[in-house]
Amino acid sequence: MVAACPFCDIAAGRLGASVVAQTDRVMAFLDLRQAVVGHVLVIPRQHVDTIFEIDPELAGEVMQLGVRVAQALREAFHPAGLNLWQSNGAAGGQEVPHFHLHVQPRRVGDGLLRVYAGHPPAPASPDVLDGLAARIRTFLSP
């Protein structure tokens, strides 16, 4: 656990939270700021700053609980849609430096999370996309 990490404090029971589900290594609780009803955060109990440091197996456990929470939200609130999102670093909009997955029911016109500001960009050419894919593949770990 890391000093002054509110999610570590929640995981350790030092700070209260409205827990939705938990396992030995992962837990889900309601976000304090309910921009839409049912906004849940899923975290590893172990402190991990960002996706760049998380063990793939632990990330899988976070996602598995996220899927279970999403299915429960569908039954509980009947949303028109749902977002899963995960932010890393200040430029990515991460506010708490502890890896977490947002599971957020969505309503048409709720005004949250637009992927593109204004109009979406034009599609890139296949040559540009193939070049980007090749560059990324060179850095993939096995």
pLDDT tens series, the chain, 142 aa = 566 899 999 999 999 999 999 999 999 999 999 989 999 999 999 999 999 999 999 999 999 999 999 999 999 999 999 999 999 999 999 999 999 999 999 999 888 877 667 777 889 999 988 898 999 899 988 7
Domain of residue 44, residue span:
6-137
Residue at 102 is within a domain: yes
pLDDT of residue 64: 98
Asked whether residue 1 is assigned to any structural domain, the reply reads: no
The pLDDT of residue 120: 79
**Does residue 142 lie within any of the structural domains?**
no
Based on the structure, what is the number of domains in the chain? Answer: 1
Q: What is the DSSP string of the chain?
A: --TT-HHHHHHTTSS---EEEE-SSEEEEE-SS-SSTT-EEEEESS---STTTS-HHHHHHHHHHHHHHHHHHHHHH--SEEEEE---TGGGT--SSS--EEEEEE-TT-----SSSSSPPPPPPHHHHHHHHHHHHTT---
Here the CATH number for the domain that contains residue 97 is: 3.30.428.10
pLDDT at 115: 66
Please report whether residue 119 resides in a domain.
Answer: yes
Q: How high is the pLDDT of residue 121?
A: 84
Is residue 71 included in any domain, yes or no?
A: yes
Q: The whole model's pTM is what?
A: 0.89
